[in-house]
Every structure is written in structure tokens, then in C-alpha cells.
Amino acid sequence: MSFGLYAAGFAILIGGLAYAAHLAHLPAQWIMVGVIVMVGIGILSGVKATRQKDSSS
């Protein structure tokens, strides 16, 4: 799976969670903290899931 596809799916997930938090009347500053944390987790897990294994030659 490509990193771009993984990132797009994770961005949709983050957007949905942020919108749900907005509908739950959470303060905007905490929504932004959650979004920043989720972006970091998304980048780390996306790189881990899509990296190529090094072949020993």
C-alpha cells in the first residue's frame, strides 16, 4: 500500500474525529491538540506500514 493512500485515509479519519469533537462542543484548542497528535501518529504508522524492507546483498 502506498504512503499517499495511507495518508489520505488517515486524513479522512482525523477530519471525522475533529468534526465529531466540534459537534460535542469541545474547546477548539483541545481539538487542535488532538489533531496534531493524530497527525504525528499517522505519519509514524504510515512510514512503518509502507516502508520497504532492506534486502541484504
Q: Would you say residue 54 lies in a domain?
A: no
pTM of the predicted model, to two decimals? 0.80
DSSP 1-57: --HHHHHHHHHHHHHHHHHHHHHTT--HHHHHHHHHHHHHHHHHHHHHHHPPPPPP-
Per-residue confidence (pLDDT) for residue 47, from 0 to 100: 87
Q: Would you say residue 22 lies in a domain?
A: yes
Q: For residue 28, give its domain range.
A: 3-47
Q: Would you say residue 14 lies in a domain?
A: yes
Angle, helices 3-23/28-50, rounded to nearest 10 degrees: 160
Q: Which three cell numbers stand for residue 52?
A: 520497504
Total domains in the fold of the chain: 1
Q: Which three cell numbers stand for residue 26?
A: 469541545
Per-residue confidence (pLDDT) for residue 46, from 0 to 100: 87
Low-confidence ranges of the chain (pLDDT < 70): 1, 54-57
- Largest Cα–Cα distance of the chain, in whole Å? 56
Q: Would you say residue 52 lies in a domain?
A: no
